Amino acid sequence: MSGSPTQRPPPAPEPKLRPRLLLAPALLAVSVAVLLAASPSHLPRLLRLLLGPKHSLLRPAERGPLGDASPDAGRPPCVLWMAPFASGGGYCSEAWSYVASLEDHAAAAATNANFTLAIAHHGDLESPEFWLGLPEQSKNLAYRLATARCELSRAVVVCHSEPGAWYPPLYESLPCPPTGYDEPAFVIGRTMFETDRVSPEHVRRCNQMDAVWVPTDFHVSTFVKSGVDPSKVVKVVQAVDVAFFDPDKHSPLSLPIGVSVMVLDDSRLDLVSSEGKGFVFLSVFKWEQRKGWDVLLRAFLQEFSGADDVALYLLINAYHSDTDFGRKIHRFVKESSIEKSTDGWAEVRLIDEHVPQSALPRLYKAADAFVLPSRGEGWGRPVVEAMAMELPVIVTNWSGPTEYLTEENGYPLIVERLTEVTEGPFKGHLCAEPSVDHLRALMRHVFSDREEARKKGKKAREDMVNKFSPAIVARIVADQIQQALASSP
């Protein structure tokens, strides 16, 4: 036994951080300092935590003749989860849901889950707005996990990001794994794409990993078909926070909010319409062609008119693009062949203010149905949030959503054909073109048969709770981590 104080070797000197490892806490500290400008009272404590030598994010192994006696030898191994935790994008919220579930449920989920958890921001820029809108609980968790001790040589590293950010990164980012593939015990790439295949460079990067986690059977199939080693590809579904997105816990936001887009004339924003509508469709997306906002507007404006007691609310995330969506939508409608009914345009409202994460459930709660005629999704986070909030959803039946969307819990939207992506990094890949006519029919149906829609909404929440709750997904993730630990030297 090495427990007796007299046999214990003298304490090893505080190991020096290698310069590039210093990057991690330094980057975090800088970003957190910027993010916390609005609440300076947190700052000194947090900076101390992030920069203090006793709380370095990553510490080199203490090897040598006394290797066994290193302070880490008796500790459980750790999982270093690296993701764009402060970006507010898709990977960001996905990573949060895993980390929060693991923290909350690891002990209960897998009694032999013998690892600790640490996080580092990686793979994308930070969004101060997102960070400040996070619930206090998440911020506290971030402070704790970003300062947790994690010895890289005994760590399972999860690189949860776009593979271009993996070591060596193709753009400026803290690399993942931080020092390449040799030092950590096991390296997992967690990623996903929205098209029918994976590009050769991404396949190469996936195959450098010990394992590649993807969220759906759709991805297992597209990754393997594209050349990723089938023995490395594992389906690990994503969780939705069914305790937070719980309709019983929230009151609806009072509508109307935002600006009415179709009454915009060429020179001014007009706010004439201020009455709430009887039925509210909600769509939540990032401003990209891929999200099918053009399909949505075409279907909605052709199917409904100013005479219908209905409104379409759009919550558009400006992530990586410019704003002024009202004018862009207005221009799109003017330049399209959509005909204005004699009763005028049906109401389209753009939510032109930032809705913090903490207020999202109230927005879903104010809606009667959720709609997203996307051309391809990795997972479809707003869709599962809406489903957890008991909303009936109308979503393209392709890619990520096929993992959870059924005729019983929602309204799968028919894909008319697959079309080639014509620009950007996925040029030449195929993605789905949803049917405008079917979307019109489904929106009309949900608007008319509210009883059926409500039933599907109830079933949607049931499925989210039974299959994708944080507790269930934490167990899946903890099992996979145990397997990784068991298979690493």
Give me the residues that bind ligand NAG (CB under 6 A), please: 397, 402, 407, 412, 414
**Residue number with CB closer to ligand NAG (68 or 407):** 407
**Residue number with CB closer to ligand NAG (56 or 397):** 397
**Residue number with CB closer to ligand NAG (201 or 452):** 452
- Sheet-wide strand order for 116-121: 116-121, 78-83, 155-160, 186-190, 211-214, 233-235
Cis before 177 (ω within 30): yes
Upper half-sphere CA count for residue 212 (Cβ side, 13 Å): 30
Question: Which residues have CB under 8 Å from 354's CB, separation 6+?
Answer: 129, 133
Residue least distant from ligand NAG (Cβ):
397
Radius of gyration of the chain (CA): 24
Q: How far apart are CA 149 and CA 185, in angstroms?
A: 16
**Residue number with CB closer to ligand NAG (88 or 412):** 412
**Contact between residue 339 and residue 255 where contact means Cβ atoms under 8 Å apart:** no
User: Sign (positive/negative) of CA torsion 419, 423, 426, 427?
Assistant: positive
The structure tokens listed for 376 are 């391809």
Interior CA angle at 256 toward 251 and 258, to 5°? 110
Please state the closest distance from residue 460 (CB atom) to ligand NAG, in A. 15
**Residue number with CB closer to ligand NAG (123 or 412):** 412
Please state the closest distance from residue 431 (CB atom) to ligand NAG, in A. 14
**Residue number with CB closer to ligand NAG (378 or 412):** 412
Please state the closest distance from residue 406 (CB atom) to ligand NAG, in A. 8
Please state the closest distance from residue 217 (CB atom) to ligand NAG, in A. 9
Please state the closest distance from residue 390 (CB atom) to ligand NAG, in A. 21
Q: How far apart are CA 339 and CA 48, in angstroms?
A: 61
Query: Taking Cα atoms as reference points, which of 117, 94, 120, 87 lies closest to residue 104?
Result: 117
Amino acid at 224: V
Please state the closest distance from residue 297 (CB atom) to ligand NAG, in A. 23
Please state the closest distance from residue 419 (CB atom) to ligand NAG, in A. 17
**Residue number with CB closer to ligand NAG (186 or 404):** 404
Please state the closest distance from residue 412 (CB atom) to ligand NAG, in A. 4
**Residue number with CB closer to ligand NAG (283 or 397):** 397
The angle that helices 136-146 and 43-51 make with each other, rounded to 10 degrees, is: 30
